[in-house]
Amino acid sequence: MKKRHRKPVNTILATIRAELALPRMSKSARIAERESDTTRVSQQPRTVMPGTVDKIIQFRTPRLREMAQISIEGEPRYRELHVENSLTDEHGDEVKLEKGAQVEVTVTVEGKRKPIEKL
């Protein structure tokens, strides 16, 4: 049988002493300190996915607007997205999607997100 190499007791005590020397802080104080940090840029989490317009769905009733069905490449959860087909471009003009057009879908989180803490 092989002998196990154990760490000396005084090295373990040294790491514990170093950890205990740090000031204690509650979780709410750590969150407040992180949010008050001006160098940290606070952005909403988002992702951009490429997609293709599969088809344009037109309804017979005039109160329903036409929809564009977009398929996202490589994402089985978002295979088909239905989006109203009346969009505006960067100049404020109304734009409509066409079948086969390549689009980028940006998904962002709305509202306050819960931060992930590493202890």
Give the tens place of pLDDT for each residue, 22-81.
Answer: 777 788 887 888 777 767 666 777 888 888 899 998 888 877 888 999 888 776 766 778
In a domain, 7, yes or no: no
In a domain, 32, yes or no: no
Indicate the helix (H) or strand (E) that contains 50: strand 46-57
Question: How much is the pLDDT for 102?
Answer: 92
For residue 99, give its domain range.
51-108
In a domain, 45, yes or no: no
Say how many domains are in the chain.
Answer: 1
In a domain, 63, yes or no: yes
Q: Could you tell me the maximum CA-CA distance found in the chain, to the nearest angstrom?
A: 83
CB distance 14 to 64 below 8 Å: no
In a domain, 38, yes or no: no
In a domain, 40, yes or no: no
**What's the whole-number mean pLDDT along residues 83-95?**
85
